[in-house]
Amino acid sequence: MTAHQIALFLGAALLLALAPGPDNLGVLALGISRGKSIALGFALGCAAGCLNHTLLAVIGVSALIAASPLAFKAMQLLGAAYLVWIGIQALRSRGTGISQTNAPQTGASFASSFRQGLIANAINPKVGLFFLSFLPQFVRPDGWPAHWQLACLGALFALVAALVFGAIALAADPIGVWLRRRERLGLWLDRASGGLFVGLGILTAAGIR
């Protein structure tokens, strides 16, 4: 794996983790309402759930490559189209409210909020489909075996998610106050991530990665 490949992936993963969504907004809402410990448990659980989707992507993509390189190329093109669609939806977004979360119910401890964050992320089919489409876009055919590249990329994504979500959990109260004063911030984060995914999808489909 090249430094350029990793840097491009880390930039995309960071922007995705920062863009408002059920996971990071759930962490923020918990930090504001329940405290840092509960929010941190949920944050780390959501990040750990990414490893489940990584495993499924490794198994599915590796099997597809072994069966047919042509089928893998077709999957990449379908994945590129899906990323463009995600980008268009983000560009059309009007922002996401803090109230739209997957936050655990009252009475949660660190362990139970971790478990709920893990389950909420791991069983989300949209996240699984995204991983299956997103990770292969950064696989280099002339690099390490594809399954190792996918595993490393998935682990890096989970690490980025853990750092971003954890930072939100630890600074939830001032972040919540800051966001409430800047209601359009989420809108512009959606715009930035939307442009990234549209561009990545187009470059992949054109074979310019």
Over residues 14-29, the pLDDT tens digits come to: 888 887 776 777 787 7
Can you give the pLDDT at residue 60?
Answer: 74
Rounded mean pLDDT, 161-187: 77
Quickly state the pLDDT bin for 106 (edges 50, 70, 90): very low
Could you state, in order of their start, the residue ranges of all structural domains in the chain? 3-206
Quickly state the pLDDT bin for 98 (edges 50, 70, 90): very low
Q: What's the distance, CA 208 to chain centroid?
A: 23
Rounded mean pLDDT, 169-198: 69
Can you give the pLDDT at residue 44?
Answer: 94
Can you give the pLDDT at residue 8?
Answer: 84
Can you give the pLDDT at residue 97?
Answer: 47
Distant-in-sequence, close-in-space partners of 11: CB < 8 Å, separation ≥ 6:
none
Rounded mean pLDDT, 191-205: 69
In angstroms, the CA 130 to CA 38 distance is 27
Rounded mean pLDDT, 176-200: 66
Which residue bears the tokens 């190329």?
Answer: 73
Over residues 128-149, the pLDDT tens digits come to: 777 777 787 788 777 777 788 8
In angstroms, the CA 74 to CA 44 distance is 34
Instruction: Take residue 60 and report the two structure tokens written for it.
Output: 């599915």
pTM summary value = 0.65
Q: Compute the mean pLDDT over every residue in the chain, rounded to the nearest whole number.
A: 75
Rounded mean pLDDT, 152-157: 90
Over residues 29-80, the pLDDT tens digits come to: 777 767 788 889 989 998 998 888 888 778 876 566 556 767 667 766 776 7
Can you give the pLDDT at residue 101?
Answer: 45
Alpha helices per DSSP H over the chain: 3-18, 22-33, 36-67, 69-92, 110-122, 125-134, 146-170, 172-180, 185-206
Can you give the pLDDT at residue 111?
Answer: 87
Query: What is each CA distance from 160 to 46, 57, 123, 130, 134, in whole angstroms?
Result: 12, 18, 20, 16, 15
Can you give the pLDDT at residue 188?
Answer: 67
Which tops the pLDDT comparison, 124 or 98? 124
